[in-house]
């Protein structure tokens, strides 16, 4: 069965996943992370994609982003790849592809999943036992969200601003949210949606996206259709 084109909806929140080929390292040291983030900052502005959160793990990366149009997200990821992959290959004397296929993008119902997905991304280094506390990990947006630094890559989402009337209130509220583990149900839903690239949200949200894009947004049921008796 032919693969459906990647679903990108302008002005909607997207969760993006890019893995290293065969699970191999794509960020080997701090310089790699610096180089990638510099390219991300440049490309997100060039192609008008608002970056709300990110995490760079040794073998994969996640972004939470809102593209302004249907093509900006793909153009941004392609542009970054054209700059980052040659840099990485030259530095480590390798050749060939760095990514495991094309990146995955999942359209999210922001009201239900924005904050949950932010925490999902930024707690990844803790779940992977790289650090004991998310604030100790440099290569995510968490330090920005709790006020430890101002990250020029981040374009704060309105739902983040809704956490408080002042920066201190927002940062404190966000830090408090990180102290509570993501529910297994939400963790499973986000992981499954990211893997399969289907929209994540309420049934009404999925119906609205299907109507807006005129395409199927849920997987087909397995098995052959039942034959009707006559």
| Residue 102 is assigned to a structural domain of this protein | yes
- Averaged over 115-139, what is the pLDDT? 96
pLDDT of residue 229: 45
Is 0.85 surpassed by the pTM of this model?
yes
pLDDT of residue 200: 93
| Residue 164 is assigned to a structural domain of this protein | yes
Secondary element (H or E) of residue 24: none
User: In whole angstroms, what is the distance from residue 176 CA to residue 173 CA?
Assistant: 5
**Kind of pairing between the strands at 49-57 and 60-67:** antiparallel
- Does 97 have pLDDT greater than 60? yes
User: In whole angstroms, what is the distance from residue 144 CA to residue 149 CA?
Assistant: 5
Q: What tokens appear for 160 in the block? A: 């983040």
Strand partners, 179: none
Q: What is the pLDDT of residues 61-94, one digit of tens each?
A: 999 999 999 999 999 999 999 999 999 999 999 9
pLDDT of residue 223: 54
| Residue 2 is assigned to a structural domain of this protein | no
- Does 1 have pLDDT greater than 80? no
Q: What is the pLDDT of residues 178-229, one digit of tens each?
A: 998 788 889 898 988 888 888 999 999 999 999 988 877 776 665 555 454 4
pLDDT of residue 61: 98
Q: Which residue from 175, 165, 157 is spatially nearest to 63, judged by alpha carbons? A: 157
SS3 content of the chain, % helix, strand, coil (to 5): 45, 15, 40
Q: What is the pLDDT of residues 36-57, one digit of tens each?
A: 999 999 999 999 999 999 999 9
CATH at 94: 3.30.70.1290
Whole-number percent of the chain with pLDDT over 70: 93
| Residue 17 is assigned to a structural domain of this protein | yes
- Tell me the residue range of the domain where 161 lies: 13-211
| Residue 49 is assigned to a structural domain of this protein | yes
8 Å CB contact between 14 and 201: no
- Does 3 have pLDDT greater than 60? no
User: In whole angstroms, what is the distance from residue 57 CA to residue 127 CA?
Assistant: 11
By three-state DSSP, how is residue 52 classified? Answer: strand
Secondary element (H or E) of residue 61: strand 60-67
Classify residue 103 as exposed, middle or buried by CB count within 10 Å of its CB (0-12, 13-18, 19+).
buried
Alpha helical stretches, state H, the chain: 30-46, 72-91, 110-122, 124-127, 142-145, 158-161, 167-178, 184-196, 203-213
Residue identified by tokens 């290293």 is: 20
* Residue 135 confidence class, pLDDT cut points 50, 70, 90: very high
| Residue 101 is assigned to a structural domain of this protein | yes
| Residue 65 is assigned to a structural domain of this protein | yes
Q: What tokens appear for 133 in the block? A: 């506390």
How big is the chain, counted in residues? 230
In whole numbers, what is the pLDDT of the chain averaged over residues?
92
Give the count of domains, the chain.
Answer: 1
| Residue 219 is assigned to a structural domain of this protein | no
């Amino acid at each position: 069965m032919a693969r459906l084109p990647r679903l990108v909806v302008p002005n909607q929140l997207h969760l993006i996943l890019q893995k290293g080929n065969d699970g191999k390292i794509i960020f080997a040291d701090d310089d790699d992370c610096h180089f990638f983030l510099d390219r991300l900052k440049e490309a997100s502005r060039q192609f008008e994609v608002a970056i709300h959160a990110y995490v760079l793990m040794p073998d994969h990366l996640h972004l939470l982003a809102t593209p302004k149009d249907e093509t900006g997200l793909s153009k941004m990821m392609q542009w970054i790849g054209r700059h980052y992959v040659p840099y990485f290959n030259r530095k480590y004397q390798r050749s060939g592809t760095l990514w495991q296929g094309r990146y995955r993008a999942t359209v999210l119902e922001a009201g239900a999943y924005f904050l949950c997905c932010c925490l999902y991304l930024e707690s990844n280094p803790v779940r992977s036992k790289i650090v004991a506390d998310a604030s100790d990990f440099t290569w995510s947006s968490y330090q920005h969200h709790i006020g430890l630094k101002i990250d020029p890559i981040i374009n704060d989402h309105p739902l983040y601003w809704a956490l408080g009337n002042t920066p201190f209130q927002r940062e404190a509220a966000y830090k408090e949210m990180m102290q509570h583990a993501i529910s297994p149900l939400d963790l499973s839903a986000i992981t499954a949606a990211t893997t399969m690239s289907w929209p994540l949200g309420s049934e009404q949200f999925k119906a609205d996206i299907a109507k807006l894009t005129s395409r199927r947004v849920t997987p087909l049921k397995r098995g052959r259709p039942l034959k009707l008796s006559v």
